[in-house]
Amino acid sequence: MGETQSRVAKLEPENWDPRLREALQPEALSDLEQGLTRYFAHCPELALGLMQFGGALKMKRTLPNRLVELVRLRIAFFNQCRSCMAIRYSDAVADGVDEGAVCSLERPQEAENLSAAEKSAIRYGELMATDHLAINDGVYADLREHFSEAEIVELGMTAAFFVGFGRLAATFNMVEELPAAFQKAERIAPWGEEKIEVR
């Protein structure tokens, strides 16, 4: 297969389990918005469980949408998940994620337009993606300066979701619907390229 083709076959929505179609309403979504469900539909019971968990992480979150999106994009860079880097979620854009904030992710600890809480969460997400055993008492003490215990647990679950499924998406090579810049073979970043905003 070429570099712009998925390594795993997508299942078209008309072939999905009816429960998946009902839950996601794929006819109202672009191919990119259907995302990993196009692949996970091969295993509908697992896909339904994952959708419930992923939906809870998004719909029941207490952390700000902006903070979660910045953590997601920083993790996506280390995962080299092209679809993750190309997407901007509209709720996060509405909460203040502009390309200036995204560009700050190149050197987040030096950025003047990120709050101390955002820097702490981004650092935690970065370590989850690169060196999770370096997350020590000091890292958690820093998180506690900004977040409650429940928020720290939520951040951890969210980061774990992004790390694991972002890496899986990167191995699937799901890039067909992405702007040309994200289909290149070399290492890329979420800052400085054309982006796609989704719901």
Please state, in angstroms and rounded to a whole number, the distance separating the CA atoms of residues 193 and 54. Answer: 27
Half-sphere exposure in the Cβ direction for 187 (13 Å, CA)? 3
Query: In this model, does residue 87 exceed pLDDT 70?
Result: yes
Whether residue 174 contacts residue 33, with contact meaning beta carbons closer than 8 Å, is answered with no
Query: In this model, does residue 76 exceed pLDDT 80?
Result: yes
> pLDDT per residue over 175-198, tens digit each?
888 877 777 767 888 876 566 776
pTM score, whole prediction: 0.91
The band of 52, judged by pLDDT with boundaries at 50, 70 and 90, is very high
Please state, in angstroms and rounded to a whole number, the distance separating the CA atoms of residues 166 and 152. Answer: 20
Give me the percent of the chain exceeding a pLDDT of 70: 94
Homologous superfamily, domain 65-198: AhpD-like (1.20.1290.10)
**What pLDDT sits at residue 192?**
66
**What pLDDT sits at residue 1?**
39
The band of 2, judged by pLDDT with boundaries at 50, 70 and 90, is very low
> pLDDT per residue over 134-172, tens digit each?
999 999 999 999 999 999 999 999 999 999 999 999 999
Looking at the chain, how many residues does it have? 199
**What pLDDT sits at residue 180?**
77
Whether residue 53 contacts residue 163, with contact meaning beta carbons closer than 8 Å, is answered with no
Listed by start position, the domains of the chain span 13-59, 65-198
Radius of gyration of the chain (CA): 17
